[in-house]
Chains A and B, each alone.
Chain A
Amino acid sequence: AQKITQTQPGMFVQEKEAVTLDCTYDTSDQSYGLFWYKQPSSGEMIFLIYQGSYDEQNATEGRYSLNFQKARKSANLVISASQLGDSAMYFCAMSVKLTFGKGITLSVRP
C-alpha cells in the first residue's frame, strides 16, 4: 500500500522569499513517481513537478524544485521567490495509483 504524509499546518511566507513544503511517503514499490500539484481557490488541480524514483537528479521546473531524499522517503517542494499568485493548496501525490496527501495551504504575504 502507498501512503503520502503532509503534516504541516497552514504555511505563511513573505513575497519574494523561498518556502519548503514537506512530503514524506511510504511504498513497497521499487518504481514510482512523486508529483506536486497546486490547487488555487478556483479548484483546478495544476501539475507542477515530477520526480521518478530512479532519477538521480532532483527535478526542477522554473521556480519549483523537488528535494528528493530517497533514503528518508521524502519529496519536499521548494518554491523560490514566492509570488502572491502562489497562494493555494498544495498536494503531494504518488503513482502508480495516484495517492494524494492531505495537502498544505500556502499563503503568500505582500
Chain B
Amino acid sequence: DTEVTQTPKHLVMGMTNKKSLKCEQHMGHRAMYWYKQKAKKPPELMFVYSYEKLSINESVPSRFSPECPNSSLLNLHLHALQPEDSALYLCASSLQLAGARDTQYFGPGTRLTVL
C-alpha cells in the first residue's frame, strides 16, 4: 500500500483566517514533506520532517507553520496568508530522508485559494 491521504481536497480562506492542512501515511515512512505547486510549474519543497523532527525549512514565511504530531501525521497550519499563496499543496513521504533510492510517494494534494 503506497497511499498518502490529504484533507481537505479544496480550501478557500480569507487573509485573516486560520486553517490547517492534514496529511497521513501508514507505510511506516519516517520522512514526510510539504511541497507548494503553482499551475504548470514543478513542486517546490517547503518543509521536511525526519523521525518527527523538522530537518529542512526552505526559508518559508512564518505564516506557514508545520507540525508532525507523530510518525504518521503531518499538518500545515496556515495563518494570515496572501493571495499569492494560492496553490496546490502536496504532501509526500519516503522511507528515509535523503536516500538515493528512497522514493517519495505523494498525496492527492489540497487546492488552496486565498481571497
Contact = CB atoms under 8 A, between A and B. Distances in A.
Interface in B41-66: 41-43, 45
Given A91-B42, A98-B45, A47 B105 contact: yes
A32 B100 CA distance: 5
B34 interface: no
A53 interface: yes
Nearest to B2: A47
Contacts of A46: 106
Given A44-B108, A44-B109, A96-B98, A103 B103 contact: no
Interface of B: 2, 33, 40-43, 45, 88, 90, 92, 98-109, 111
Given A98-B45, A100-B43, A103-B42, A44 B102 contact: no
The residue among A42, A43, A47 with the most chain B CB atoms within 10 A of its own CB is: A43
Contacts of B101: 33, 50, 52, 95
Interface of A: 29, 31-33, 35, 37, 42-47, 50, 52-53, 89, 91, 95-98, 100-103
B106 A44 contact: yes
Nearest to B92: A45
Binding site of A, secondary structure by majority: helix, strand, loop or mixed? loop
A52 to B, nearest CB: 6
A55 to B, nearest CB: 10
Contacts of B41: 102-103
Contacts of B109: 43-45
B42 A43 contact: no
Contacts of B33: 98
B2 A100 contact: no
B42 A47 contact: no
Contact of B104 (A29, A47, A53): A47
9 contacts: A32-B100, A37-B106, A45-B90, A45-B106, A47-B103, A50-B103, A101-B42, A103-B40, A103-B41
